[in-house]
Chain A
């Protein structure tokens, strides 16, 4: 196990900068998720850590040892690829023990290690099968087994669950978390799925255009996004971003074009602002009251456990997530009570996603 330290890492292809001055300290045993829209450089960054892409600038340390010029095999890492990258001509057991064979370990110790890994992953009955005889989930486990048997200092995962169907993905996600709790190996995990990021990570790193937008624990990022991009990237249904006007006389109040206003958690500079508020931060009322906002129901989507409402307020759609079962119909009038402590004004001009 080891710390991983990224010190001003940059990568450019010719004149195009794809990774720009990334600084990140990953603690021993930590599970860090790199997340961002496609093309944000998260996979490239992971491949730079793995040694599959060269580093243009900056230093990379794994276990307090600079590894910029160390080949992948000597970095103490193992990697699980999106496509699993299992050797098609080798059985599951041979796939898992390939690295040990290359390292010159004898047969008995190889078999022991593979058996232990197979035990952890529940692969016992499939050890003699070729990859093409395995299902997607089993292949995924073999790929993880191959990573485990090396006893690496750092695990790297490149969107390992994105080729699985939805149900299996949830199951494997749980298994991954369990595995990390068992092994406590430093893990860097790339995904574009915010649910995976939220559920797995000790810390999430949100990337955009090769830059870090924000680093923090899942709940920190969920509750206090640094900007509208991070706010809208995490969470489902996605955060409401409203175009409001902060009053000149009251920096904690933001006004809709129709004149109604909502309170902000923190004071904001006067003028137009983007206010982010999560769908679950509204209460619904049937009557107008103090601080309520009047809106019209557009769509009602009951999911069983919750009800998702899309309401329209002064030309802007607001998603509201309610734990109650509502019998609202499109066209009905409702009154929203926003939770003032959860509404944040973001600096203008960075609300673009992807």
Chain B
């Protein structure tokens, strides 16, 4: 009797243990893979940040253990010959204003395209055109923009660079905002229509409050894109309007490369994007995945 009642239990028990063991192995493997990915992604950051605290000699000798020094940072921020503070300010101004413009245009366009009953060909040709535009490498446009801006006196000006960045990042923002606007149920727009709202009121009172997370996600991505953008500012700006990526590039001179300063400047340049991501990563993740799961 005992045997009969016990044997199924033992079988079930051992089966469960085996299952657990293999599950643990799978989990271990999974974590190893994830950790190696994390290592690949994080190592450059670690290297740059540690380089920023080394002296040029320590760095060139490839020392692993060193006494951290903040001379690189002090040079980058306070040295009279350093433009970094100005570059940082320029990047801020250009990034914030172009992001603001992009959000306004993209939201209005997405609302209009998806909720105002345009004929299909208008919608598709506009979206198609924006994709094609997005596929063109920015450097191809930069030359033409330089000539255009120069002839109207906008070269080496904030306005020129802001316009260029707005144009560059509009397609991506339009597509993202399109997804968010489409996620707003049609009935809400119709209910607002019946409640007496005109189109601008529908946008302001109903659609905008609902797509706020989408605005945050799109805004953050646009800002980061503008912050990182290199080829177009390289063509359009000079010393007064140069942005952070150009500033970092300047540390590589013909005769010397100021590695420490470069690393310090790079470390500082990560900060705004890092802070934004820290505060708003849930918006970003939602923004990038929404629409994909439906």
Contacts and interface: CB of A to CB of B under 8 A. Distances in A.
Interface of A: 50-52, 71-73, 77-79, 81, 83, 85-89, 98-99, 102-103, 146, 150
A81 B190 CA distance: 9
Contacts of B190: 50, 52, 72, 79, 81, 85
Contact of B197 (A50, A73, A77): A73
A146 B192 CA distance: 11
21 contacts: A50-B190, A52-B193, A52-B194, A72-B193, A72-B194, A78-B194, A78-B195, A79-B190, A79-B191, A81-B187, A83-B187, A85-B185, A86-B191, A87-B191, A89-B209, A89-B210, A99-B196, A102-B195, A102-B201, A150-B195, A150-B196
B198 to A, nearest CB: 8
Contacts of A71: 193
A87 B188 contact: yes
Range, interface on chain B: 10 to 19
Interface in B156-197: 185, 187-188, 190-197
Given A83-B185, A88-B210, A99 B193 contact: no
A51 B191 CA distance: 11
Nearest to B188: A85
Interface of B: 185, 187-188, 190-198, 201, 205-206, 209-210
A85 B197 CA distance: 15
Contacts of A102: 195-197, 201, 205
Contacts of B187: 81, 83, 85
Contacts of B206: 87
Report whether over half of chain B's contact residues are helix, strand or loop; otherwise say mixed.
helix
Contacts of A86: 191
A77 B206 CA distance: 20
B196 A103 contact: yes
Given A73-B196, A99-B195, A102-B196, 6 more contacts: A50-B194, A79-B194, A83-B185, A85-B185, A99-B196, A146-B191
Contact of B195 (A51, A83, A89, A146): A146
A81 B205 CA distance: 19
A71 B192 CA distance: 12
Contacts of A83: 185, 187
A87 B194 CA distance: 13
Report whether over half of chain A's contact residues are helix, strand or loop; otherwise say mixed.
loop
Contacts of A146: 191, 195
A89 B194 CA distance: 18
A78 to B, nearest CB: 6
B201 A73 contact: no
Given A87-B206, A89-B210, A73 B193 contact: yes
A275 to B, nearest CB: 44
A87 B211 CA distance: 12
Contacts of B205: 87, 98, 102
A165 B237 CA distance: 65
A99 B194 CA distance: 8
Nearest to A88: B210
Contacts of B195: 73, 78, 98-99, 102, 146, 150
Nearest to B202: A102
Nearest to B186: A85
Nearest to B201: A102
A102 B192 CA distance: 10
A81 B191 contact: yes
B260 to A, nearest CB: 50
A71 B190 CA distance: 11
Contacts of B188: 85, 87-88
Nearest to A104: B196
Contacts of A81: 187, 190-191
Nearest to B190: A52
A100 B215 CA distance: 28
Contacts of A79: 190-191, 194
A237 B243 CA distance: 77
B80 to A, nearest CB: 52
Contacts of A150: 195-196
A83 B190 CA distance: 12
Contact of B194 (A73, A88, A103): A73
Give the one of B188, B191, B201, B206 with max A CB within 10 A.
B191
A77 B198 CA distance: 16
Contacts of A103: 196
A73 B195 CA distance: 6
Nearest to A101: B205
Nearest to B197: A102
Contacts of A87: 188, 191-192, 205-206, 209
A32 B254 CA distance: 85
A98 to B, nearest CB: 5
B121 to A, nearest CB: 15
Contacts of B209: 87, 89
A77 B210 contact: no
Nearest to B205: A98
A261 to B, nearest CB: 54
B194 A77 contact: yes
Q: What 6 A-B pairs come out closest when comparing CB atoms?
A: A85-B187, A99-B195, A73-B196, A85-B191, A89-B209, A102-B196
Contacts of A98: 192, 195, 197, 205
A87 B201 CA distance: 13
